[in-house]
């Protein structure tokens, strides 16, 4: 019991001391705050004395007013600098945006120019495609059906477009639509050209001297015989390279049916082709092909010479259809004419 009583006494003593100290600290804080408040509200008089006999002005102020004035003034000045910095930043951002808009506008103008050039090229493409398809006999549905939206007729008479859609974008979409429509007829050209190329290998349609060498020194038809000086019908064309030994090629696929020598033609070769065609190659130095051999268009069959009735090294070239002799020059130009039409 004695120890419990001692602990209780110590506890009460501690609580009394804590309360006393708290009250003392609180009293000091109160006294300090009261002193500060009295200092802040202490009034001062500022006297404005003019250098004349006019009235003297008195201004009564206190420290609290001065502090409030300084705080308000500092806030105003700080706000001014903050808004100035924000304004400059906004101006810089706006300037950058304006530069980007100007660059975008320049790019858009350039895009419009390119679209205009594209439309011109597309119109030329349409005409060329239409002419080519018509020449080849390919059915061009997009040209016959303008309502399908796939031809350039509607493109160059641009209809009303949505308000939020640029006319150039609408034009590009129409070009894409036309190209989609043109894929089918253009795809039909490929097999047709393959078939045509196969046909051209079966008829005498290339130059009979390899690599296109030589030039024609006598054409088909009425000419003066260099030996008799009399007019006669020349049944072929003479091609001269001014030397012997240049290779001669078959002008179409076929079979060698004749390799002989005669006083007029010298060494000569006759090839039988499809569709009733025959070709003769005369005045050869020698033959490279064999009798009965199947040769392809462009394959070397012999060499230019000066055999038989000849005034110099050259090739006498003839084209026959059945028993009729025709002008070889018309057939030589077939491929070049087709190539020109293609361009």
Q: What is the CATH number of the domain that holds 319?
A: 2.70.70.10
Residue scoring higher pLDDT (10 or 54) = 10
Confidence of residue 335 (pLDDT cuts 50, 70, 90): low
Give the domain-ending residue among 138, 166, 200: 200
The count of structural domains within the chain is 2
Confidence of residue 272 (pLDDT cuts 50, 70, 90): very high
- Asked if residue 226 and residue 186 are part of one domain, the reply reads no
Confidence of residue 136 (pLDDT cuts 50, 70, 90): low
Give the domain-ending residue among 200, 232, 262: 200
Q: What are phi and psi of 278, to 5 degrees?
A: -135, 145
Joined together, the tokens standing for residue 61 give 């102020």
Q: Is the pLDDT of residue 238 over 90?
A: yes
| Average pLDDT score over residue span 204-224 | 92
Q: Is the pLDDT of residue 202 over 70?
A: yes
- Asked if residue 328 and residue 268 are part of one domain, the reply reads yes
- Asked if residue 193 and residue 165 are part of one domain, the reply reads yes
| pLDDT computed for residue 244 by the predictor | 94
| Average pLDDT score over residue span 307-311 | 92
| Average pLDDT score over residue span 317-331 | 93
Q: Mean pLDDT across the chain, nearest whole number?
A: 81
287 is a domain residue: yes
21 is a domain residue: no
| pLDDT computed for residue 111 by the predictor | 78
- Asked if residue 189 and residue 159 are part of one domain, the reply reads yes
User: 């020194």: which residue's tokens?
Assistant: 217
What percent of the chain stands above pLDDT 70?
Answer: 83
- Asked if residue 336 and residue 275 are part of one domain, the reply reads yes
Domain that holds residue 132: 120-200
Confidence of residue 140 (pLDDT cuts 50, 70, 90): low
| pLDDT computed for residue 150 by the predictor | 45
133 is a domain residue: yes
- Asked if residue 140 and residue 226 are part of one domain, the reply reads no
């Amino acid at each position: 019991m004695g120890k419990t009583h001692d602990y209780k006494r110590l506890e009460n003593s501690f609580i009394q001391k804590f309360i006393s100290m708290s009250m003392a600290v609180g009293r000091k804080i109160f006294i300090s705050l009261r002193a500060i408040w009295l200092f802040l509200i202490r009034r001062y008089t500022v006297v404005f004395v003019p250098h004349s006999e006019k009235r003297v002005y008195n201004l009564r102020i206190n420290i609290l007013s001065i502090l409030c004035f300084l705080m308000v003034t500092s806030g105003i000045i700080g706000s001014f600098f903050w808004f100035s910095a924000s304004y400059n930043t906004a101006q810089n951002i706006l300037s950058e945006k304006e530069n980007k808009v100007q660059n975008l506008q320049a790019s858009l103008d350039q895009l419009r120019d390119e679209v205009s050039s594209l439309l011109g090229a597309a119109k030329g493409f349409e005409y060329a495609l239409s002419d080519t398809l018509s020449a080849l006999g390919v059915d061009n549905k997009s040209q016959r059906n303008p309502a399908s939206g796939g031809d350039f007729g509607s493109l160059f008479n641009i209809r009303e477009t949505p308000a939020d859609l640029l006319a150039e974008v609408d034009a590009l979409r129409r070009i894409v639509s036309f190209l989609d429509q043109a894929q089918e007829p253009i795809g039909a050209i490929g097999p047709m050209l393959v078939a045509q190329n196969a046909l051209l290998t079966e008829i005498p349609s290339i130059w009979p001297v390899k690599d296109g060498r030589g030039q024609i020194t006598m054409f088909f038809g009425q000419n003066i015989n260099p030996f008799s000086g009399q007019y006669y019908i020349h049944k072929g064309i003479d091609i001269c390279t001014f030397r012997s030994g240049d290779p001669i090629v078959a002008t179409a696929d076929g079979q060698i049916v004749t390799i002989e020598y005669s006083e007029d033609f010298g060494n000569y070769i006759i090839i039988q082709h499809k569709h009733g065609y025959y070709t003769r190659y005369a005045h050869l130095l020698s033959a490279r092909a064999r009798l009965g051999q199947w040769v392809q268009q462009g394959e070397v069959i012999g060499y230019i010479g000066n055999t038989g009735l000849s005034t110099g090294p050259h090739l006498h070239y003839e084209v026959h259809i059945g028993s009729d002799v025709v002008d070889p020059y018309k057939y030589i130009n077939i491929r070049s004419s087709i190539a020109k039409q293609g361009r």
